[in-house]
């Protein structure tokens, strides 16, 4: 693609998608939503997920030969 083609494609894209005009504003104040997000805090994994993860790590460490079998059935 030469410079001429590139310019033509740019022009076509500009005609297909017009730029966002001015300084758009959200339809409402987003702070209350932000505050709810802050109150809910980060998503925490329950203790049994951690226990399960630790179990898998221990299993793999002791029986590495069974990993392909496990993967086959997953």
Give me the least distance between CB of 7 and another protein, in Å please: 9
Give me the least distance between CB of 44 and another protein, in Å please: 13
Give me the least distance between CB of 61 and another protein, in Å please: 32
- Which tokens sit at 27? 């339809």
Contact set for another protein, span 18-37 (CB under 8 A): 18-20, 23-28, 30-31, 33-34, 37
What is the 3-class SS of the chain, one letter each residue?
Answer: CCHHHHHHHHHHHHHHCCCCCCCCCCCCCCHHHHHHHHHHCCCCCCHHHHHHHHHHHHHHHHCHHHHHHHHHHC
Binding site for another protein (CB under 8 A): 1, 5-6, 8-10, 12-20, 23-28, 30-31, 33-34, 37-38, 42
């Amino acid at each position: 693609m030469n410079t001429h083609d590139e310019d033509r494609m740019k022009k076509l894209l500009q005609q297909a998608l017009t730029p966002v005009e001015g300084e758009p504003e959200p339809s409402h104040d987003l702070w209350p939503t932000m505050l709810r997000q802050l109150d809910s805090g980060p998503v925490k994994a329950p203790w049994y997920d951690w226990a399960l993860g630790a179990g898998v790590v221990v299993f793999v460490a002791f029986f590495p030969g069974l990993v392909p079998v496990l993967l086959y059935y997953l």
